[in-house]
Amino acid sequence: MKICISTSAGGHLDQMLQIFEAFEDHDTFFVTIFNEVTSDLDKNHKVHYVRKYFSDDTSSFKFYIFYFIYQLYMSAISFFIILKERPDLIICNGGQASLTLLMIGKIFGVEVIYLESLTRTKNLSGRGKVFYKFADLFLVQWDSLSSKYERAKYWGKVI
């Protein structure tokens, strides 16, 4: 099975690396934002880096123009990653790279697993609420969330 692991840097990446050994027998690759935290990831793993969009002023018209262009860029990058790699499964836990990748993956019939952050104890994150609608399997790390959200499954904590 070919598995795409899509994540952002920091705690999200740490959580994915915590469960990575479960996928070691499979052909895996990462899709993540390139920064100082992820820059060494490609020493031990196959990685497709994408750029992060930065803006300080989300209320300006210029922000929305650049954000629209960024989403076109992410769609094109995601399309080519899915086309090149042909994953059977995308496992993601949020971040800028994941949503567009999930949507393109779903168009190609790729199964999606979303892992909600350990820090979400009472409610889903903003991205979690979006992924909840599209993921084939939606995992939470607190049993209380699985009883609150019908499609959410609790299989334990990652860390």
Domains and CATH numbers, the chain: 2-154 (3.40.50.2000)
pLDDT of 56 reads 54
Element (H, E) at 134: helix 126-134
Element (H, E) at 84: helix 61-85
pLDDT per position as a tens digit, 9-44: 877 888 888 888 888 899 999 998 888 778 888 888
Highest-confidence segment of 80-84, 92-96, 137-141? 80-84
For tokens 């210029």, what's the residue? Answer: 62
Global pTM exceeds 0.95: no
